[in-house]
Amino acid sequence: MEQRTEGTPVRRGRGRRPADEVRADVLGAAGTLLLRDGMAAFTIERVAQEAGVSKTTIHKWWPSRGTLALDGYFHAVESALAFPDTGDIRADLTAQVRAFVRLLTGTPAGRVIAGLIGQAQTDPDLLTALRRRYSGPRRELAVAAMRRAQDRGQLRADADPRILVDQLWGACYHRLLLPDEPLTEEFADRLVANLLHGVGTG
């Protein structure tokens, strides 16, 4: 994120800032607010204030508080969830699932995404936004990485990567939403090991 101080000419000058820049500022402010103060304190008004834009500008791009929170969340965690590609699928999956667990447990992101998924169960528009802007694209990144591993011969060709997504990241969401057991990096390691090597003896 670009850092600016109060009164910088680019904000107060007569020319309008490019839309992309304004949008990036709003997303940056939304993500920062969310991860700092959580969903309960998240309002369009506060994002507008932090980003130095009007509420009208925000409403032009985001129809609701939920969709703005979702985009802010996605923007804030994007770098933490980058998918490594070292050519070794076991190492890459382990690193990615570990990073996901650290994000969910070591930052407020876990409560934020749990709250969004929770709210989406009775808010069809939010569920659609969540799928289009978050879970869908995240799923595709993981599937693409696993298809590359299939091309390299590291994963069985008859395995469906879309199902492996549910058995790795879905397993983490299960412990996030129904915390009967702890979400740890050891858990991440074992998810990958179980799935690659199998736990049957037959």
Q: From CA 28, how far away is CA 77, in angstroms rounded?
A: 11
User: At closest approach, how far in Å is the CB of 21 from a second copy?
Assistant: 32
Q: From CA 127, how far away is CA 79, in angstroms rounded?
A: 23
User: At closest approach, how far in Å is the CB of 49 from a second copy?
Assistant: 25
> Nearest CA to 183 among 74, 103, 92, 86?
103
Chain residues that interact with a second copy, rule: CB under 8 A: 89-90, 114-115, 117-122, 127, 130-131, 135-136, 139, 153-156, 159-160, 162-164, 166-167, 169-175, 177-181, 187, 190-191, 194-202
User: At closest approach, how far in Å is the CB of 36 from a second copy?
Assistant: 19
Tell me whether residue 22 or residue 97 sits nearer to a second copy (CB atom): 97
User: At closest approach, how far in Å is the CB of 74 from a second copy?
Assistant: 14
Q: Between the CA of residue 12 and those of 36, 55, 152, what are the distances in Å?
A: 27, 17, 54
Tell me whether residue 63 or residue 182 sits nearer to a second copy (CB atom): 182
Tell me whether residue 24 or residue 127 sits nearer to a second copy (CB atom): 127
CB-count burial class (<10 Å; 0-12, 13-18, 19+) for 52? middle
Q: From CA 152, how far away is CA 171, in angstroms rounded?
A: 26
Do the Cβ atoms of 1 and 27 come closer than 8 Å? no
User: At closest approach, how far in Å is the CB of 162 from a second copy?
Assistant: 5
Tell me whether residue 5 or residue 121 sits nearer to a second copy (CB atom): 121
How far out from the chain centre does Cα 55 lie? 24
User: Is the four-CA dihedral 155, 160, 163, 165 of positive or negative sign?
Assistant: positive
User: At closest approach, how far in Å is the CB of 83 from a second copy?
Assistant: 17
Tell me whether residue 14 or residue 197 sits nearer to a second copy (CB atom): 197
Do the Cβ atoms of 77 and 110 come closer than 8 Å? no
Q: From CA 125, how far away is CA 136, in angstroms rounded?
A: 15
Tell me whether residue 24 or residue 141 sits nearer to a second copy (CB atom): 141
